[in-house]
Chain A
Amino acid sequence: MAETAGETPRFYRARDGRLLAGVAAGLAQHLGIPPIVSRLALLALGFGGIGIAVYVVLVFFVPVEPETAQDTGEESGTPGKRRDVGRLLGYLALAAVLSMLFLVFGGMFDPLLWFLIFGALGAAVLWQQANPALRDEWVSTTALPSRKGWVRIGAGVLLIVIGVIGFLVFQQQLQEARTGLTFAATMLAGISLIAAPWIVGLVRERDRERRERIRNQERAELAAHIHDSVLHTLTLIQRRADDPREVQRLARVQERALRSWLYQRPADADTTVKPALERVAAEVEESHGVPIEVVCVGDGPIDDGIRAELQASREAMVNASKYAGADSISVFGEVEPKEVLIFVRDRGQGFDLDAVPDDRMGVRGSIIGRMKRHGGEARVRTAPGEGTEVQLRMPRIPEFG
Chain B
Amino acid sequence: MGKVHDVADDNTTFGSGAAVPRVVIVDDHRLFRSGVRGELGNAVEVIGEAGDVDGAVHVISEHQPDLVLLDVHLPGGGGVEVLRRVLSHHPDIKFLALSVSDAAEDVIGVVRGGARGYVTKTISGKELADAIVRVADGDAVFSPRLAGFVLDAFAATDSPPMDPELDRLTQREREVLRLIARGYAYKEVAKELFISVKTVETHVSSVLRKLQLSNRHELSRWATARKLL
Contact partner of A327 among B1, B144, B148, CB < 8 A? B1
Q: How far is the CA of A343 from the CA of B181 in the complex (A)?
A: 10
Instruction: Name the interface size band of chain B.
Output: 20 to 34
Contacts of A335 in B (CB 8 A): 229
Q: Which residue of A lies closest to B146 (CB)?
A: A295
In the complex with contacts A295-B145, A330-B183, A347-B5, A263-B103 CB distance below 8 A = yes
CB-CB under 8 A for A293 and B3, given A300-B229, A345-B182: yes
Asked whether B202 is an interface residue with its Cβ less than 8 Å from the other chain, the reply is no
A334 to B183, CA, bound (A): 14
Cβ contact of A293, chosen from B101, B145, B152, cutoff 8 A: B145
A contact residues around B183 at 8 Å (CB): 293, 330, 332, 343, 345, 347
- Residues 62-86 of chain B, each 1 if its beta carbon lies under 8 Å from chain A, else 0: 0000000000000000000000000
Residue B151 lies at the interface, judged by CB distance under 8 Å to chain A: yes
Chain A residues whose C-beta falls within 8 Å of the C-beta of B3 in the assembled complex? 293
Number of residue pairs spanning A and B whose beta carbons lie under 8 angstroms apart: 59
Contact across chains for A330 and B182 when beta carbons are under 8 A apart:
yes
| A327→B1 CA distance, assembly (Å) | 7
Which residues from chain A contact B103 at a C-beta distance below 8 Å? 262-263
Does B152 lie within 8 Å of A272, measured CB to CB? no
Which A residues lie within 8 Å of B2 (CB)? Answer: 291, 293, 327-330
Contact A299 B5 (CB under 8 A): no
Contact B1 A334 (CB under 8 A): no
Distance A295 CA – B2 CA, assembled complex (angstroms) = 12
In the complex, what distance in Å separates the CA atom of A295 from the CA atom of B178? 10
B147 in contact (CB, < 8 A): yes
Q: How long is the Cα–Cα vector from A283 to B184 in the complex, in angstroms?
A: 24
Q: What residue in chain B is nearest A267 (Cβ atoms)?
A: B228
Task: State whether the Cβ of A298 lies closer than 8 Å to any Cβ in chain B.
Answer: yes
The answer for the CA separation of A106 and B181 in the assembled complex, in Å, is 88
Residue of B nearest to A258 (CB): B100
User: Judging by beta carbons under 8 Å apart, are B155 and A330 in contact?
Assistant: no
Q: Is A389 an interface residue (CB 8 A)?
A: yes
Q: Which of these, B5, B102, B148, B155, contacts A332 with CB under 8 Å?
A: B148
Per a CB cutoff under 8 Å, which of A262, A293, A300 touches B144? A293
A297: Cβ under 8 A from any B Cβ? yes
Of the candidates B101, B151, B178, B229, which one forms a contact with A299 in the assembled complex, judged by CB atoms under 8 Å apart? B229
Size of interface on A: residues with Cβ below 8 Å to B: 23
Q: Is the interface of B mostly helix, strand, loop or mixed?
A: loop
Bound Cα distance from A189 to B148, whole angstroms: 63
Tell me the smallest distance from the CB of B58 to a CB of chain A, in Å.
31
Give B127-179 interface residues, CB cut-off 8 Å to A. Answer: 144-145, 147-148, 151-152, 155, 178
Residue among A296, A297, A343 facing the most chain B CB atoms (10 A cut-off): A297
Contacting residues, chain B, for A291 (C-beta < 8 A): 1-2
Query: Is there an interface contact between B147 and A295, defined as CB atoms closer than 8 Å?
Result: yes
CB pair B1–A328 under 8 Å, yes or no, is: yes
Give the distance in Å from the alpha carbon of A327 to the alpha carbon of B124 in the complex: 11
A297 touches B182 (CB 8 A): no
B33-54 contacts to A (CB < 8 Å): none
Given A327-B1, A343-B182: A297 in contact with B145 (beta carbons within 8 A): no
Q: Which parts of A337-389 form the interface with B (CB within 8 Å)?
A: 343, 345, 347, 389
Question: What is the bound-complex CA distance between A389 and B179, given in angstroms?
Answer: 12
A259 adjacent to chain B (CB < 8 Å): yes
Q: A299–B144 contact, CB under 8 A? A: no
| Contact flag A332-B1 (CB < 8 Å), given A263-B102, A295-B145, A297-B151 | no
Pick the contact of A297 from B5, B102, B155, B184 — CB < 8 Å? B155
| Contact across chains for A295 and B144 when beta carbons are under 8 A apart | yes
Most central of B2, B151, B155 by chain A CB within 10 Å? B2
Shortest distance between the CB of B56 and any CB in chain A (Å)? 24
- By the criterion CB–CB under 8 Å, are B228 and A300 in contact? yes
A364 to B144, CA, bound (A): 29
Q: Across the interface, do B145 and A332 meet the contact criterion of CB distance under 8 Å?
A: no
- Determine whether the beta carbon of A389 is less than 8 Å from that of B182: yes
Q: Which residues of chain B are within 8 angstroms of A299 by Cβ–Cβ distance?
A: 228-229
**In angstroms, how far is the closest chain B Cβ from the Cβ of A330?**
3
Q: Which residue of B lies closest to A292 (CB)?
A: B2
The CA-CA distance from A182 to B78 in the complex, in Å, is 59
In the complex, chain A residues whose CB is within 8 Å of the CB of B184 = 345
Check if A272 sits within 8 Å of B102, measured CB to CB: no
A332 contacts B228, C-beta separation under 8 Å: no
Decide if A334 touches B102 in the complex (CB within 8 Å): no
Closest CB in chain B relative to A160 CB, distance in Å = 44
Contact between A263 and B178, CB atoms less than 8 A apart: no
Contact A332 B229 (CB under 8 A): no
- Contact present for A298 and B229 (CB under 8 Å): yes
Q: Which residues of A contact B102 (CB under 8 A)?
A: 259, 263
* Given known contacts A298-B152, A298-B155, A263 and B101 CB-to-CB distance under 8 angstroms: yes
- Least distance between B110 CB and chain A CB atoms (Å): 15
- Nearest 4 interchain pairs by C-beta: A330-B183, A328-B2, A295-B148, A332-B182
Could you list 7 examples of A-B contacts with CB < 8 Å? Answer: A262-B103, A295-B145, A297-B155, A298-B229, A330-B183, A334-B178, A347-B5
> Could you list 8 further interchain pairs (A-B, Cβ under 8 angstroms) beyond the known A330-B2, A334-B151?
A263-B101, A263-B103, A291-B2, A298-B155, A298-B229, A330-B5, A334-B178, A343-B182
A residues sitting closer than 8 Å to B (CB atoms) are 259, 262-263, 272, 291, 293, 295-300, 327-330, 332, 334-335, 343, 345, 347, 389
